[in-house]
Amino acid sequence: MPEVLLHSALLRWWAMQLGQFFSQAWEIGPPEVLVRRIDIAEIAPGSNVDIGPAFGAALTSGEYETWQSLTSSASRQHEWLLGRLALKDVVRAWAGERGQQLEPSDIEIHIDDEGALFARCAALSGVGGSPVISLSHNSGVVVAAAADPGSLIGIDIEYADRRIDVVARALSAPEQAFVYAEAASVLDLLVAKEAATKALGVGLGGGVSRWPVVSVTPVPQGLVVEVTSATDLGLVLPVLVLHPLDTVLGICYIAPEIDAA
Ligand SMILES: CC(C)(COP(=O)(O)OP(=O)(O)OC[C@H]1O[C@@H](n2cnc3c(N)ncnc32)[C@H](O)[C@@H]1OP(=O)(O)O)[C@@H](O)C(=O)NCCC(=O)NCCS
């Protein structure tokens, strides 16, 4: 079914029931990675529109309970829900490419003890299991990514004008040299670190300096920033850093290891 971009939250909900998507496909980054985005202004003009009740139907009962338990703020509930909708869409799109048509509630999104996301979907056992997934949001956009089981994927998006003085002060001398030489901005380095640590499923944990950048290489689309771990310098995580419109987007993708046996 061709994808149709719908501009109202309710229409999009009905579209989801008809096998279409709440989010838009975003052809960006490595071809092995599926990316979808939700532009919040498009679905909730003027913001703060309550999209909750309609979209609750896309959640499994466990997800619905989690969503209801997010009592810290309405905006956090909203953000969390949009994240789940984007993740379910990207899993559905990945499954669709393998001939599986899924409903949002066929997929359950979980987090492990470190906060890493993973999807469970019984219907995908016949195609090698659920894809690996990652999520990022800022005040205007939600992005979700998926790639084949066994790979590593981490995505991060920030507005290009985000204030990051604290991060600038935490950079190491080699990292400051990349910035000084205008090879990368401070935000490029932060986005790369966040995408890399999400791919590992650990998150930054507040420790920008624990994830040193070891190289910055210009490529036609943007930059490849290599991130390592202060506790395991043998680990190198490449992150493609792009600059679409007013954002900085990082995608860390590592292909599944091929079993030589
Ligand atoms: C994961 C992390 C990198 C989040 O980054 P962020 O830019 O704050 O937020 P994003 O919107 O990009 O990502 C949030 C999503 O990452 C995912 N996430 C959280 N922990 C994760 C982990 N350990 N592994 C993979 N993904 C994770 C979640 O899906 C989360 O969204 P949700 O809570 O709605 O499900 C976080 O670990 C972190 O360390 N944040 C702190 C920010 C910080 O220290 N900044 C530097 C100083 S200014």
CATH of the domain at 103: 3.90.470.20
- pLDDT beyond 70 at 261: no
**6 or 189: which leads in pLDDT:** 189
207 within ligand 1 shell (Cβ under 6 A) = no
The answer on 53 and 24 residing in a single domain is yes
- For a mutational test of ligand 1's pocket, the pick from 37, 90, 117, i.e. the residue with the most ligand atoms closer than 8 A to its C-beta, is 117
Domain range for 238: 156-254
The answer on 200 and 124 residing in a single domain is no
Both structure tokens of 143: 């992005």
Nearest in space to 117 (alpha carbons), one of 133, 94, 105: 133
The answer on 203 and 123 residing in a single domain is no
3-state secondary structure (DSSP) of residue 9: helix
The predicted structure's pLDDT at residue 241:
98
d(CA 220, CA 172): 27
Q: What share of the chain is helix, strand, coil (3-state, %, to 5)?
A: 35, 25, 40
The answer on 226 and 105 residing in a single domain is no
- pLDDT beyond 70 at 4: no
CB atoms within 10 A of CB 190: 25
d(CA 95, CA 88): 10
Q: Whose CA is nearest to atom 35 of ligand 1?
A: 80
In a domain, 3, yes or no: no
The predicted structure's pLDDT at residue 150:
96
Segment 238-254, tens digit of pLDDT: 999 999 999 999 999 99
In a domain, 261, yes or no: no
The answer on 131 and 49 residing in a single domain is yes
In a domain, 259, yes or no: no
- For a mutational test of ligand 1's pocket, the pick from 152, 194, 197, 251, i.e. the residue with the most ligand atoms closer than 8 A to its C-beta, is 194
The answer on 222 and 95 residing in a single domain is no
Task: Classify burial at 30, counting beta carbons within 10 Å of its beta carbon; exposed 0-12, middle 13-18, buried 19 or more.
Answer: middle
Nearest in space to 83 (alpha carbons), one of 121, 133, 42, 49: 133
d(CA 205, CA 1): 42
Segment 36-51, tens digit of pLDDT: 999 988 776 554 545 6
Q: What percent of the chain has pLDDT over 70?
A: 87
Of 148, 182, 210, the one marking the end of a domain is: 148
Q: Which of 8-12, 77-81, 126-130, 134-138 shows the lowest per-residue confidence on average (mean pLDDT)?
A: 8-12
d(CA 18, CA 62): 23
In a domain, 2, yes or no: no
- For a mutational test of ligand 1's pocket, the pick from 112, 118, 204, i.e. the residue with the most ligand atoms closer than 8 A to its C-beta, is 204
The predicted structure's pLDDT at residue 6:
44
Of 121, 148, 175, the one marking the end of a domain is: 148
Number of structural domains (the chain) is: 2
Segment 65-117, tens digit of pLDDT: 998 898 888 888 888 999 999 999 999 999 999 999 999 999 999 999 989 99
Q: Whose CA is nearest to atom 43 of ligand 1?
A: 206
* Adjacent-strand bridge partners of 224: 217, 240
**pTM for this structure?**
0.92
The answer on 224 and 122 residing in a single domain is no
Task: Classify burial at 162, counting beta carbons within 10 Å of its beta carbon; exposed 0-12, middle 13-18, buried 19 or more.
Answer: middle
Distance from the alpha carbon of residue 203 to the mean position of ligand 1, in angstroms: 6
The answer on 176 and 107 residing in a single domain is no
- Cα distances from 137 to residues 15, 102, 205, 221, in angstroms, run 23, 24, 17, 22
Q: Which of 48-52, 134-138, 149-153 shows the lowest per-residue confidence on average (mean pLDDT)?
A: 48-52
